[in-house]
Amino acid sequence: MLTYCYDGSTEGLFSAISHILRHEPDPGAAVLRKQGYSLFEEGIFIQADSKRADEMIRRFSSAYPRNARDVLFCVYAEQDGIETSLLHYIHLVARHGSGISGHLTHPAVSDIRHLSGKVAREVHRFKGLMRFSMLEDGSYLARMEPDFNIIHPLSLFFSNRLQAQNWFICDVHRSLVSRWDGKSLDFGTIESFIVPELSAQEREVQALWRTFFRHVSIPERRNERCQKSFMPIKYWKYLVEKQ
């Protein structure tokens, strides 16, 4: 069993996968780890190579768009220890075609599909739970603290849905921000964050939303357990109706 390692970056990951698929006779038996992941076992280090990584991602996405989505979502998960499964999954797809994603009893396929499913669920959840508030200058700001790094797919979603207004989405823990100015989408990082002044209209609309939320539930059917199972408390921090 051969062990490889990479520098921990996304580029490094795909450079390593590309290298192993090219040079390793049996990629299905290879192990890939982040450098320094294990104290005792260091493997062959593969240098990050952005050209090679780009090439690999481009070719894989155009040949197997649906499987590429699974891979991409696993990258959003930023989870250590998934690299070997990713390597094996990409190897299996390249060898047997996209249908292999149905081979759910295979450990690598099952790992990847399971993780990408978790990320996809969080993306879907945030499409509903994101809350924008109107700032003094008329633009909108949404703050969130998701488990996974999903600012990219969410920003794309809102750039279609709320295209007539200027907005920012901010991932508070990762200090990431995206900006839509009505025409184009930009991504960036933030150094420090000062909660800006809300517009006058904002307080009124928030109070209206809370009024609606309170009265739309049927008191005779009260069921907070059910509410929390769909909308876990960890998401309540930025929910207007839960403040």
Partner 1 sequence: MARKQKNEHGVIGSLFKINLNNSGHQSKSFLHVFFGLYFCMDIFEKLRVLSGSARYDASCASSGSTRQGLAGSLGNASIGGICHSWSDDGRCVSLLKVLFSNECCYDCAYCVNRRSSDTERASFTVEELVELTLRFYRRNYIEGLFLSSAVLISPDYTMERMNAVLHRLRRQERFAGYIHMKVIPGSSAGLVAQAGFLADRLSVNIELPSGESLRRLAPQKERESIIRPMAQLGETIGSSLIERRKYPSAPRFSPAGHSTQMIIGASPESDLQILRLSEALYRKMSLRRVYYSAFVPVSADNRLPVLNTPPLQREHRLYQADWLLRNYGFSASELLGEEAPFLDEHLDPKAAWAIRHPEFFPVDVNKAEYSVLLRVPGIGVRSARRILAARRFSSMTPEGLKRIGVVMKRARYFITCSGRYPERFSDRPSIIRKQLIAAGDSPVSAPALSGQLTLPGL
Residues that bind partner 1 (CB under 8 A): 99-100, 102-106, 110, 124, 127-134, 136, 140, 142, 158, 160-165, 200-201, 203-205, 207-209, 211-213, 215-227, 229-231, 239-241
Q: Which two tokens stand for residue 47?
A: 């240098």
- Burial grade of 92 (CB within 10 A; 0-12, 13-18, 19 or more): buried
- Stated length of the chain: 243
Given the complex with partner 1, which of 25 and 219 has the nearer CB atom? 219
Count the neighbouring beta carbons within 10 Å of the beta carbon of residue 106.
Answer: 17
Given the complex with partner 1, which of 81 and 102 has the nearer CB atom? 102
Question: Which of the 8 DSSP states describes residue 171?
Answer: E
Given the complex with partner 1, which of 187 and 213 has the nearer CB atom? 213
Q: Which two tokens stand for residue 72?
A: 């991409």
CA 196, CA 31: separation in Å to the nearest integer? Answer: 48
Given the complex with partner 1, which of 16 and 74 has the nearer CB atom? 74
Given the complex with partner 1, which of 47 and 201 has the nearer CB atom? 201
Please, which residues bridge with residue 133 across strands? 141
CA 195, CA 170: separation in Å to the nearest integer? Answer: 11
CB 17 within 8 Å of CB 86: yes
